[in-house]
Amino acid sequence: MFNFNMLKTFLLNLWESFVGIPLVLCFLLYLCDLLSLLLRMLPLRFQRQVVVELEHARRYLKKFQRKLPPGPMGIPVLGHLPFIDSASPHLTLRKWSKDYGPIYRIQLGKVPVVVLSDPQLITMAFNNDNVTGKPPLYVTTGIMECCGIISVDGELWRSQRNMIIRSLDSFASRQHLVEDVGVNKLDVLLMEQVTRLLTQFDATNGHVFDVHGPVRFSVSNMMAKILFGRSYEDNDHVFNRQLDLCDKGASLVQLTNFINYFPFLRYLPDFGRPYSLLRELKTEHHEYLNDILSDRVRRSNGDSLIDLYIAEIRKDGADVHDKETGKQMSHVLADLFGGSTDTIKQTVKWALLHFMTRNDVQDKIHDELDKIVGSKRRPDFHDMGKLVYTRACIMEAQRLASVAPIGMPHWTLADMTLGGHYVAKDTMVIALQYAVHMNPNYWETPNLFIPERFLNEDKTELLKQSHFMPYSIGKRQCPGMDLADRCLYIILANILHRYNLLPPRENIEPSYRPLPGFTLSPRHYMLRAVLR
């Protein structure tokens, strides 16, 4: 005879497996009553068969439940979206990692998510070919129209990544001699842009100024010279407009954007306006990039990264004049310019913010610079291997900033086991870099700025830390991380060689609370750069 309790238990277990503790118990009980009534109308032999099948299903479900990662309670349809702080999702996710461990599961709309906060698990997952996909989020990845490098996967991602890496290697290794002194042309390019930044700092005459503008322009101009083969004047209206577009667009891209999971919401005004604005910003920015591409396709000479990328496209047999190829190229250019500029400028701003409040750290950097470089010249790339304390300070700024606190979400392409837990195909995987970088099990007093944690005992060598991952890790690790490190070093070493950085007034503690966005940016702050 059919057992009502068996059906009720099965449905409750099923609900808990995918949503959490049942919040619609009344609905389930009503459903049980209805099904029980219908089944009792069947012949006895059919009722017995249903009981057998339910028991098999219950046993399978229990086995399945034991393998799933733990996780917090969600609600139907929305999952955990309402419980995540949209301005600081990394803080909510970190709290859950403390409650549920280094691997746990949540649900964002209909998208299952596994969150990792253990460096070994992250390394294991992100080096797995089955975790190289990109989640089909309507805004975060969908707005890129399955183009570029950040928002694609499969063979397109593989081929484009290889082209970009070859282009970067070729660009960075060019050894054209400048005035027969054996200086790498890339190093000269970077030093020229740093000189322009120092000129802007000099113009403040030690007075209080907002560091955001000069850093944003100089870093973006540096990347424009590398990528586009062109640089701009400070008052260039078109270029500054593009920087505004990128900043605004970055602030609108949020993992917790409801349209990512419920695209129909874009037709509602409150949800649709930011989405429409994001599309408008993208259209205008890509018009600018398409003009640059058209120019470089006509007269590329190998002096920019995009020239080398165009050469790789041609080697691959693609027609650079084809509409679809051009669309892919413009999205790659947008990804490279936006990603590199945002990461470097935010890290520089965070580093300067920490330095200006730590005279003791600045004194040690100045001592090292004076000993290795002296006052007759500026730090260059030949000094990079010797300035270990300066570089340790940059790394500590990267750790504390965690500019990309949740990294770039990945997508599973097959069922797999991770950390003893079952992770299904079509699951979003988040590496919670912020939690790794702020974990007291890996970093003693993680909230404090302590560069020595990256140095060996006698302070002569940098330590490699497996739990330090500012550029993510694995098969989708940032391909331009070496270039980013060089840019960060040359900018910050030259600033600190020339200036004492001071807060606008004594005894004023600046805010370390970041602005909301996909990447973490410090709020606008003022400082003084006083010549040493």
Phi-psi region of 181 (alpha: psi -120 to 50; beta: other; left: phi over 0): alpha
Q: Where are the alpha helices (DSSP H) in 101-235?
A: 119-126, 154-173, 185-202, 212-228
* Residue 478 marked as a ligand binder: yes
Write the DSSP symbol of residue 463.
P
Spatial contact of 409 and 127, defined as CB atoms under 8 Å apart: no
Residue type for 134, please?
A: K
Question: Between the CA atoms of 386, 214, 329 and 146, what dihedral angle is there, to the nearest 10 degrees?
Answer: 100
Own/partner pairs, 281-290, CB within 8 angstroms, 24+ separation: 281/245, 281/248, 281/249, 281/252, 282/143, 282/249, 282/334, 284/245, 285/242, 285/245, 285/246, 285/249, 285/334, 286/330, 286/331, 286/334, 288/238, 288/242, 289/330, 289/333, 289/334, 289/337, 290/326, 290/330
Question: Between the CA atoms of 105, 111, 117 and 122, what dihedral angle is there, to the nearest 10 degrees?
Answer: 120
Side-chain-facing half-sphere of 510: CA atoms under 13 Å: 23
Residue type for 141, please?
A: T
Distance, in Å, from the CA atom of 167 to the CA atom of 332, rounded to the nearest integer, reads 12
Residue where the block lists tokens 């970041």: 514
Spatial contact of 499 and 201, defined as CB atoms under 8 Å apart: yes
Residue where the block lists tokens 């302070």: 459
Distance, in Å, from the CA atom of 266 to the CA atom of 278, rounded to the nearest integer, reads 12
Write the DSSP symbol of residue 2.
-
Q: Kindly give, in sequence order, each residue whose CB lies less than 8 Å from that of residue 279, ignoring residues fewer than 6 positions away.
A: 143
Question: What element of type H or E holds 361?
Answer: helix 359-372
Residue 179, SS3?
Answer: coil
Spatial contact of 480 and 513, defined as CB atoms under 8 Å apart: no
Cite the annotated binding site for heme by residue number.
Answer: 478
Cite the annotated binding site by residue number.
Answer: 478
